[in-house]
Structure 1
């Protein structure tokens, strides 16, 4: 173990042990943020996949905390079709999830390959379709975070949110269940051999609002390259109108054994999911937690779930306490139309340079089909680069 890792481990242990003994320093470090145009440009495409949201990155080697030599991108709703002279051709198609693979960790379009499934008519369809016992006839998957589980033969796990349309309005959908998708090591897109299981990780809070785990995963193990490994996988959930965040953890070897999961209740790890405590709020349904080099952690999210501000909170441990909201970036310049919305910012350590965090966010429209005709490249991730001296 090198000196920097030893120092980080010692500081993190002191902070975590002293979470309730004293108030840790949650002051944001000095930082600089700039656009990352080379990464944003990687997703400006005219044939095949030309738009999507829900972007997560998963290193195939399971090394979550360093630049990867090969990784998987996963998307939720995705557009497949063709654009010519900035005009969308007839026949484009929306599917509910897709994937891409990148060889290396640099934004090279020649090494980026998008994939989706096709039906018997050779029409694009989603990579993952729900077929669990609790699945309804019209349910489909949006995707949460995922990771390669090195304690289970490098099985790739991805959270699947079962979504059901309830009206024709812009936001006429709701989540109705949480599943876990399991993909054997060595599988190639579009992943024909996956398995899936319903989980107990979808819930209603005391106010009757729904919530679900899988918004972010923090693999705090030595094999994943964590700076202060404790051997657990931390899984973050979000619920309610105030976008409150809850935390669960489990050993990676028991990841699909839900009786082994424990939930942070504000003082310790509880068997009962209903006892989970809100550790912070104003986050987004997709987010990330990453270690700083000084024993603290950085939580990145879209403030309030949907809005123009990408923000962060500094945490003393993977379960907090978390400091105040610090705004990193205003996405207003992306709003070519008043109908545009921005959401679900998160960091991607596996494609980040040392001392930086590459952060993505999604752009959509409440008049999607109308605006897509005018601006066919609107529906794609954008990237910014966060530079902090205390990043590893």
Structure 2
């Protein structure tokens, strides 16, 4: 919950314009964009029931064996839900969780027990906690990026990123990781925003978060093996030295997506060149390393701000990305997160802290 105000919320907040300014022409052929009623109804019905997950953020997804889909979440509220649509003050709050979707059936996966639920993935230091980045299933094993944070002082916002890890988890038993391996963390880039298989490689998209400025970086791992040697895009080639990674562009959110699209690559992100922006934008590149150009407005989130659907100036949206397993070249399903700067709002209305889904149609 805290991260989304600082890292995610500010990921929906300000950024300075990077020197390598991008064209503002709307070259992406957007025909329409609208809420995805089927997905929104599915998760709202489940969340309002109070039987498991009632809200969270991140909202990554990946297909898993058996025709199922895994939804990957960070800060998570569990049930129950009050009759008026709020949360009890003692409602369980976890740092991460999963939902397994089997058709129209959703099941929450968490640690601990039903009577004493606990966070699913934890770091070795019990004083720290983990939020989940992108995850991808390969051969029945979930390759899950895990981002570790630690407190730096007594105040609410006194915390900092301390490292990134890879959790490998069998999809047949999502509560029992096979391994927990450190990932490159020697620079200020958090390699957690997106994972994309392209040929024999997994491309890893990271963000250098400077608060008001957020820069995109790209790495890749051969043989689709995140535990192997990584290479970092230098602007003209690849290096095995992490510090050689270059800033590709600014204006991205801490979570975004880069997916193959019509022979090119589609970048979807919050427009962090604006303060607490309600704009979800797209860019297109000829290569998975960019450059990404032709910035195009895809959707304006209706929940944001005092004029939004909640009529609440504290409500903001952030961290949109695509769901490739649900998308085609003509229709791309995108999720984004909703939160409030006032934590009390999340207990008064369970629907605020819950992802939304839209479908962007391209002509």
TM-score, shorter chain, exceeding 0.5 = yes
TM bin, normalised by shorter chain, reads 0.7 to 0.9
Q: RMSD across aligned C-alpha pairs, in angstroms? A: 2.3
- CA deviation string 1:141-196 (max 9, x = no partner): 1001111224xxx4321000001233565644321110110113x4323x224320
Describe the shift of the 1:166–1:338 C-alpha distance in structure 2 as closer, same or farther (beyond 3 A).
farther
Aligned to 2:101: 102
Q: Which moved more, 1:139-148 or 1:300-309?
A: 300-309
By how many angstroms is 1:353 displaced? 5.7
Alignment match, 2:362: 388
Counterpart contact for 1:285–1:344, Cα < 8 Å: yes
The 5-angstrom pairing of residues 209-224 of structure 1 reads 210-221=188-199
Cα deviation digits, residues 11-39 of structure 1 (max 9, x gap): xxxxxxxxxxxx9x993234321111321
| Larger CA Rg, structure 1 vs 2 | 1
Which structure 2 residues correspond to residues 198-209 of structure 1 after superposition, within 5 A? Answer: 198-200=182-184, 202-204=185-187
Which one of the candidate residues 217, 227, 234 is aligned to 1:246? 217
Structure 2 alignment gaps of length 5 or more? 1-22
Quickly say closer, same or farther: Cα 1:145–1:277, change in 2 above 3 A.
same
2:39 pairs with 1:39: yes
Map 1:65-104 → 2, pairs under 5 A: 69-83=67-81, 84-104=83-103
Say whether the 8 Å CA contact 1:157–1:182 is kept in structure 2: yes
- 3-state SS, counterpart of residue 195 of structure 2: strand
Which residue, 56, 60, 63 being the options, matches 1:56?
60
Q: Which residue of 2 aligns with 1:10?
A: none
Quote the offset at 1:325 in angstroms. 2.5
Quick check: 354-363 or 121-130, which moved more? Answer: 121-130
**Stretches of structure 1 lacking an aligned partner (at least 5 in a row):** 1-22, 62-67, 205-209, 222-230
Take 2:224 and 2:29, find their aligned partners in 1: how far apart are those partners? 35
Determine which of 136, 151, 160 is the counterpart of 1:147.
136
- Offset at 1:290? 1.5
TM-score normalised according to structure 2 size = 0.83
The 1:31/1:169 distance shift into structure 2, 3 A limit, reads farther
Residue from 248, 260, 267 that aligns with 1:279: 248
Query: Structure 1: how far apart are the matches of 2:195 and 2:360?
Result: 20
Counterpart position of 1:114: 108
Q: 1:160 aligns with which of 146, 164, 184?
A: 146
C-alpha distance in structure 1 between counterparts of 2:88 and 2:30, whole Å: 46
Alpha-carbon distance, 1:51 to partner: 0.6
| Offset from partner CA, 1:310-367 (integer Å, 9 cap, x none) | 1111111100111042221111435421111211100001123662111000011111
Write the distance in 1 (CA, Å) between the matches of 2:326 and 2:234: 33
Deviation sequence 1:261-283 (CA, Å, 0-9, x none): 11110000111111111112101
2:321 matched to which residue of 1? 346
Give the match for residue 18 of structure 1. Answer: none
Give the TM-score normalised by structure 1: 0.77
Aligned residues between the structures = 326
Between the aligned partners of 1:307 and 1:361, the Cα distance in structure 2 is 12
CA–CA separation in structure 2 for the residues paired with 1:307 and 1:273: 31
Q: Residue 168 and residue 32 in structure 1: after superposition, are their counterparts in 2 closer, same or farther (change >3 A)?
A: farther
Three-state SS of the structure 1 residue aligned to 2:79 is strand
CA apart distance, 1:307: 2.8
Counterpart-to-counterpart distance in 2, 1:263 and 1:138:
32
Q: What is the match of residue 3 of structure 2?
A: none
Contact 1:56 1:74 in 2 (8 A): yes
User: 1:363 touches 1:378 (CA, 8 Å); kept in 2?
Assistant: yes
